[in-house]
Structure 1
């Protein structure tokens, strides 16, 4: 397993723990469960796999290309989720809530967007590496 694949797995695990934690705490804490998204602060730990060890090459051109595609798809997925949810908020609030969207919904949306972005990034990375190992 390459260093960048280990990095992607670390990202996916951190995002999964934060998301599952929010889901588990939501019935008891309500909107305060968003505090579990603070666990996403551990995402930089994935960079520890990418440190240079002497003269060893950690990231090559193939890794950089996979990273570009994964970042693009991760950000695209997050933005599409955001736009679709915002459209839903506007339609719902214009019908039932006199055009006012509760602030807590927007807070949830920001955290969910962050988790979707990094989760999709990690999944694309892992799938790309799994396909490469099968092809070679």
Structure 2
């Protein structure tokens, strides 16, 4: 039986399980990049450099997204404080879903640049999720066990 995480009489078990499943989902999709590379390499007759752009676009989005978030935070305040965790997580899910949906036209049009763009948007969505969900998990229970919750998720 799962011990309920409670703070001030509120149970955070359901939100914690939901966020943990969300972490699993984006971890699974991230691992799919490695599986995608050989198929794209064969389909588009890519060089090694071109095939590594898959990883570069996806993980480059983490850098670009984090940099944009940092610049916005320093100039006009933390966006999560303004919109809230729920809207931040939903925005991240929407961006990631948009990136996933863009795989369909990329496959239909057989367009490598569109695949790279879809991966970049997917990576941006995961960046927003990472920034928002990590902070949210740390708030779902006592402060002294926040690092344990982050490790578990």
Q: TM-score range by the shorter chain?
A: 0.3 to 0.5
State TM-score, norm by structure 1. Answer: 0.41
